[in-house]
Amino acid sequence: MRRFSFFLSVVVVMLLGITALGGQPIARAQEATPATGATARTDVRYVLPFTPDGLNAGLTATATEEGVCGFSSSAALDRPDAWDCIGENDQIYDPCFENPFVPPDEPGEVACLESPFTTDVVVLTLTEPLVREKEAADDGMSMAQAAGVDIQPWDLPWALELANGDRCTLLHGTLTVMAGQTVHYGCTDGGAILGEADHSQPVWQVNYLAEGDAASHLVEVVAAWS
């Protein structure tokens, strides 16, 4: 009787092993379901305003003007197709993304957005050709670069979506310094980001200061926009 019980135990173990190898997977205690909403990697996103048929159907042109783009964007640093442009009444737009589908013999066209979180764009029809050598000595620079600080493109993405739900966009003009760190981003919930984005790990982090708080803290970046 003991031999028969032992034989059955061996058969059961063998069948379980076959199932694990070739059949349905067997659940194990250590294979816990990942926490819902956990960020495994920061999502890098690129805004693409144009399609072969023209302006993307999800965007709305609030104005169409003539303009000129003479400098590379100081907001979307990672984009060779992003520009700092001037429209009517000397209105400055940055960033403006060029339409890659315009034939070479037609005037260039760019779409300018305040942030990637809006669907409103200003479309500029260019009166002068784009300067393709964007590495020229007189090319546009970010505020940090103008101050002599070495900034890599993804150190300062155009915009960031944070794990706490806030959305932050790169600031222009005169920047504030707090605790020895430049405040590069303003956020929709009133917070700010001190310093640069840390993208050395799969999940990026930023030093976030919430409105009214006396201390900043690290927050994970869900998505980075360029």
Q: Pick the last residue of a domain from 98, 126, 154.
A: 126
CA dihedral 134, 137, 143, 146 (to 10 degrees): 160
pLDDT at 78: 87
Same-domain pairing of 121 and 156: no
Same-domain pairing of 155 and 107: no
Confidence class of residue 168 from pLDDT cuts 50, 70 and 90? very high
Same-domain pairing of 167 and 99: no
Same-domain pairing of 172 and 115: no
Same-domain pairing of 119 and 183: no
Same-domain pairing of 147 and 221: yes
Q: Is the pLDDT of residue 174 over 80?
A: yes
Q: How many CA atoms lie within 13 A of 219 on its CB side?
A: 25
Q: Pick the last residue of a domain from 96, 126, 156.
A: 126
Kindly state the average pLDDT of the residues 87-100: 96
Asked if 185 contacts 160 with a C-beta cutoff of 8 angstroms, the reply is yes
Same-domain pairing of 121 and 155: no
Kindly state the average pLDDT of the residues 128-135: 70
Same-domain pairing of 122 and 174: no
Angle at 108 between CA 93 and CA 114, to 5 degrees: 20
Residue 13 lies in a domain: no
| pTM of the entire predicted model | 0.73
Nearest of 98, 124, 75 to residue 226 by alpha carbon: 75
Residue 136 lies in a domain: no
Same-domain pairing of 114 and 147: no
As a whole number of angstroms, the longest Cα–Cα distance in the chain is 98
Q: Is the pLDDT of residue 31 over 80?
A: no
Q: Pick the last residue of a domain from 64, 92, 126.
A: 126
Residue 137 lies in a domain: no
pLDDT at 16: 35
Query: Looking at the 3D structure of the chain, how many domains does it have?
Result: 2
Same-domain pairing of 94 and 149: no
**Full residue range of the structural domain in which residue 186 is found:** 143-225
Same-domain pairing of 167 and 200: yes
Residue 5 lies in a domain: no
Query: Of 35 and 202, which is predicted with more confidence?
Result: 202
pLDDT (tens digit, 9 = 90+) per residue, 59-90?
A: 999 999 999 999 999 999 889 999 999 999 99
Same-domain pairing of 157 and 192: yes
